Amino acid sequence: MRTLRTQVAVVGAGPAGLYLSHELRAHGVDSVVVERCSREHLERRVRAGLLEEGTVRLLRGSGLADRLDRQGLVHDGFQLRFDDTVQRISTTSLIGEPTYIYGQQEVVKDLLAARPPDDGSLHFDARDVQIAGITGDHPSVAFTADGEQVVVEADFIAGCDGHHGVSRASIPTASLVVHSRRYPFDWIGLLVGAAPFASELVYSVHARGFALASMRTPEVSRLYLQTDARDEQSDWPHERIWDELWQRLYVEEGRRTRGAVLEQVRVPLRATVAEPMQFGRLFLVGDAAHIFPPTAAKGLNVALEDASVLAHALIGWFRRGEAGPLEGYSAARLPAVWRAQDFSAWLTWLFHPAADATAFDHRRRTASLTRLAEAGSSAVAFADEYVGRSRRRPPARSYVHELDGMEA
Ligand code: RFL
Ligand code: PHB
């Protein structure tokens, strides 16, 4: 058995774990990262694509955005299609902030490339990862690699191991509430070797269902299609997927061309939030603490925000002996998590007609979408949530007053 000693043991080398470890190292705090998959797998895994302005600023501030600034696609806005109409919502005109298209695996590649070449603190292909001692002062992470048992002794553990990881499961159930919501929709996602459908993202709401035409690069498209959560894989042969995409995106007959499908995934639309996001010396970060339906593209953005807040709380502890920010990590993050969760839920219901939607529902949805596309305060409020600016602002003065002491 081999024993390693570090200040922070990070479980999971997704964007959250790698960013946390990067920030810690930049401020002189030592960490060891333990990852279940191989490096090749992480660099290939296609997931998020849309980054908010705040995320890009975070990456720039950490010296991680050189390639993003060269190759990322800056989008001033997006198209909203419904009822045979095309509206354009420009977040740059509305609130002065664009969004960026840059694949999650590219963020991961940049984070891996930024580590020193002789980096011995990153362990891939870890098997049987287990967390122990989180209620004491000496927590540890044990795993097996190449047949050898390794134990990482640390002061703190950052659980950045996604929705199916071991971190959240290591917290006693009596000390954690996991709020969940399964939406009655799934998405089929296609990665297609063809130029993007339009120069900007197209969110399209059709009586047949929702479709989204996104992209990864000028040569690669990402297309999504709403399906019913009860559907079987066999209900969706390729022919039907393309036909629905064209209809829902309002593509004319003569312009219906297919591209080569490089990858196809099925994405269940669901949400979870674990409260609190910490227990003893274990802190949950990113998808380990919360997942969002992908509609509003919040998961990666909120995950990196969590990682940044936790990194600075840990740096405060090790460099200045501050306990407050670490103790307050969960309380600091949960309002932002719920805000993103609320927007994601609202957008999911707005964009996805239910299987039993009536003509009334459809007309009402059209009225909501029309209001959204009208320049004015609701478009500004929408843009604020879409680019995540609302989460970065201090809370506005509330009109809600305490009822304590009021006469009945
Ligand atoms: P990750 O990326 O899941 O990384 C967790 C890492 O932990 C490893 N792991 C373990 N390691 C050690 N021991 C164990 N027992 C382990 N179990 C797991 C895993 O191998 C993995 O490497 O979580 P992280 O870092 O919190 O990042 C979160 C994001 O991945 C996620 O929120 C986004 O992909 C969500 N998302 C989107 N977010 C956005 O902000 N913008 C988007 O445009 C966007 N689009 C999407 C999305 C998610 C999607 N899917 C597939 C759910 C589009 C889709 C289709
Ligand atoms: C994506 O490209 O994966 C994507 C973009 C925007 C969204 C959701 C997903 O709202």
Domain extents in the chain: 2-76+101-179+271-339
Looking at residue 117, what is its pLDDT? 86
Q: What's the CA-to-centroid distance between 187 and ligand 1, angstroms?
A: 16
CB contact at 8 A, 126 and 145: yes
pLDDT for 171-207, tens place per residue?
999 999 999 999 999 999 999 999 999 999 999 999 9
Atom of ligand 2 nearest to the CA of 294: 8
104 lines ligand 1 (CB under 6 A): yes
Whether the predicted pLDDT of 399 surpasses 80? no
Matching residue, tokens 């003893």: 280
Q: What's the CA-to-centroid distance between 304 and ligand 2, angstroms?
A: 16
Whether the predicted pLDDT of 98 surpasses 60? yes
Question: Considering only CA atoms, which residue is closest to atom 30 of ligand 1?
Answer: 300
CB contact at 8 A, 99 and 75: yes
Whether the predicted pLDDT of 256 surpasses 90? no
Looking at residue 378, what is its pLDDT? 87
Looking at residue 248, what is its pLDDT? 97
Looking at residue 138, what is its pLDDT? 96
pLDDT for 216-239, tens place per residue?
999 999 999 999 999 999 999 999
Annotation says 19 is catalytic: no
> What value does the mean pLDDT take over residues 400-408?
59
Annotation says 75 is catalytic: yes
pLDDT band at 255 (very low <50, low <70, confident <90, very high): confident
Looking at residue 373, what is its pLDDT? 83
Whether the predicted pLDDT of 366 surpasses 70? yes
Whether the predicted pLDDT of 135 surpasses 70? yes
pLDDT band at 254 (very low <50, low <70, confident <90, very high): confident
CB contact at 8 A, 129 and 159: no
b vs e for 76-102, b when ≥16 Cβ sit within 10 Å of the residue's Cβ?
A: ebbbbbbeeeebebbbbebbebbbbbb
Annotation says 325 is catalytic: no
Q: What's the CA-to-centroid distance between 246 and ligand 2, angstroms?
A: 18
Quote the DSSP letter at residue 76: S
Atom of ligand 1 nearest to the CA of 303: 26
Whether the predicted pLDDT of 292 surpasses 80? yes
**N-to-C CA span, the chain:** 67
pLDDT for 301-343, tens place per residue?
999 999 999 999 999 999 999 999 999 999 999 999 999 999 9
| 282-284 vs 85-90, strand pairing mode | unpaired
Looking at residue 407, what is its pLDDT? 54
297 lines ligand 1 (CB under 6 A): yes
**C-alpha to C-alpha distance for 358 and 362, rounded to whole angstroms:** 6
List the structure tokens of 32: 């060891």
Beta partners for 143? 150
pLDDT band at 403 (very low <50, low <70, confident <90, very high): low
Question: Considering only CA atoms, which residue is closest to atom 9 of ligand 2?
Answer: 297
Task: Give the distance, in angstroms, between the CA of residue 387 and the centroid of all CA atoms in the same chain.
Answer: 13
CB contact at 8 A, 212 and 79: no
pLDDT for 139-168, tens place per residue?
999 999 999 999 999 999 999 999 999 999
Looking at residue 374, what is its pLDDT? 86
| 282-284 vs 127-132, strand pairing mode | unpaired
CB contact at 8 A, 188 and 265: yes
Whether the predicted pLDDT of 280 surpasses 80? yes
Looking at residue 216, what is its pLDDT? 93
Task: Give the distance, in angstroms, between the CA of residue 175 and the centroid of all CA atoms in the same chain.
Answer: 25
Whether the predicted pLDDT of 406 surpasses 60? no
| 290-291 vs 260-275, strand pairing mode | antiparallel
pLDDT band at 287 (very low <50, low <70, confident <90, very high): very high
| 85-90 vs 2-5, strand pairing mode | unpaired
Instruction: Report which bound ligand comes closest to the CA of 9.
Output: 1
10 lines ligand 1 (CB under 6 A): no
Range in 176-185, 245-254, 276-285 with the lowest mean pLDDT: 245-254
Whether the predicted pLDDT of 122 surpasses 70? yes
Q: What's the CA-to-centroid distance between 297 and ligand 1, angstroms?
A: 12
Looking at residue 118, what is its pLDDT? 86
pTM of the full structure: 0.96
SS3 326: helix
Annotation says 298 is catalytic: yes
Question: Considering only CA atoms, which residue is closest to atom 21 of ligand 1?
Answer: 14
Compute the Cα dihedral for 96, 111, 278, 154 and give only its sign: negative
Instruction: Look at phi and psi of residue 69 and say left if phi exceeds 0, alpha if psi is from -120 to 50, else beta.
Output: alpha
Q: Residues for the chain: how many in total? A: 408
Annotation says 294 is catalytic: yes
Q: What's the CA-to-centroid distance between 178 and ligand 1, angstroms?
A: 18
> What value does the mean pLDDT take over residues 10-23?
98
302 lines ligand 1 (CB under 6 A): no
pLDDT for 31-51, tens place per residue?
999 999 999 999 999 899 999
**Superfamily for domain range 2-76+101-179+271-339:** FAD/NAD(P)-binding domain (3.50.50.60)
Helices (H), 80-196: 91-95, 104-113
Quote the DSSP letter at residue 358: -
Q: Which residues line ligand 2 (CB under 6 A)?
A: 48-50, 201, 214, 222, 294-297
Looking at residue 401, what is its pLDDT? 62
Annotated catalytic residue, options 19, 22, 75, 224: 75
Q: pLDDT averaged over the chain?
A: 95
pLDDT band at 397 (very low <50, low <70, confident <90, very high): low
Residue type, 221: S
